[in-house]
Structure 1
Amino acid sequence: MSEIRIRREHDLGLDEARKLALKWAEEAERRFGMDCTVVEGEYSDTVEFSRSGVKGQLVVAADHFDLQAKLGFLLGAFAKTIETEIEKNLDDLLGARQALAKTPKAAANNGAAKKVAAKKNGNGARKKA
């Protein structure tokens, strides 16, 4: 079983990091068929994700993202490719967010971005609708 670990530092703060993590989860569901659940916490959130052959979590904090994923036997052969794709995806999201912050007009439009609907289940986790 292969394991992927990725850490990215940022200066977004928790609220902005949460928004970015929701975008990441949406893309993981759309592109890779992942089942994503967000578990909210006071100081950090955890995006749990899984599908056949992959299980992991993305910890979302005010100053960093920590991703850990375990790949099953079949996907383990592609671990480096998968890791590179995840790194690119996170870096693209962080880069886009930093670019928005530098552009006043884009930052103003960011507040009108589409809201993600979520359902709460009994354990405080939010399941994307």
Structure 2
Amino acid sequence: MSVIDVHRTHSLDKDHALEAAESLAQDLSSQFDVNYQWEGDHLTFKRSGAKGHLNITGEDLHVHLELGMLLRPFKSRIEQEINSQLDKILKA
């Protein structure tokens, strides 16, 4: 199993941090056919061959994604997309 683990600090208030996380989830959903669900401030996502979560605190966004064997070759692309989207949505 291959793991993507991204931490990003932010200075957003809670509502804007949740909006940023939702934007990231929508992007991942459309690009990689990922299903996601909110449980409070905790977002879980899953698709065949991948599962993970996104946690939000007052100053941190943490994305943890586990990729199965079939998606392992795409790890770099997926990680790059997560970082790119976070750069856009957390830009001050």
TM-score for the superposition, normalised by structure 2:
0.91
Percent identical among aligned pairs is 34
Q: Deviations 1:46-100 (Å, cap 9, x if unpaired)? A: 11011111100010112110010000001112212221121111111112xx2xx
| 1:54 counterpart residue number | 50
**SS of residue in 1 equivalent to 2:87:** helix
Aligned equivalent of 1:69, options 59, 65, 70:
65
Offset of residue 21 of structure 1: 1.1
Q: Are the equivalent residues in 2 in contact too, given 1:14–1:63 (CA < 8 A)?
A: no
Q: Deviations 1:7-56 (Å, cap 9, x if unpaired)? A: 0000002121011111222222222211110110xxxx111011111100
Classify 1:81/1:27 alpha carbon distance in 2 versus 1 (closer, same or farther; 3 Å).
closer
TM-score for the superposition, normalised by structure 1:
0.67
- Any unmatched runs of 5+ in structure 1? 99-129
**SS of residue in 1 equivalent to 2:25:** helix
Q: Are the equivalent residues in 2 in contact too, given 1:28–1:34 (CA < 8 A)?
A: yes
| 1:92 counterpart residue number | 88
Relative contact order, higher structure (CA 8 A, sep 6+)? 2
| 1:32 counterpart residue number | 32
| 1:20 counterpart residue number | 20
| 1:79 counterpart residue number | 75
The one-letter code of the counterpart of 2:79 is E
**Moved segments of 4+, more than 6 Å:** none
- Any unmatched runs of 5+ in structure 2? none
Work out which of the two has the higher radius of gyration on C-alpha atoms and give 1 or 2: 1
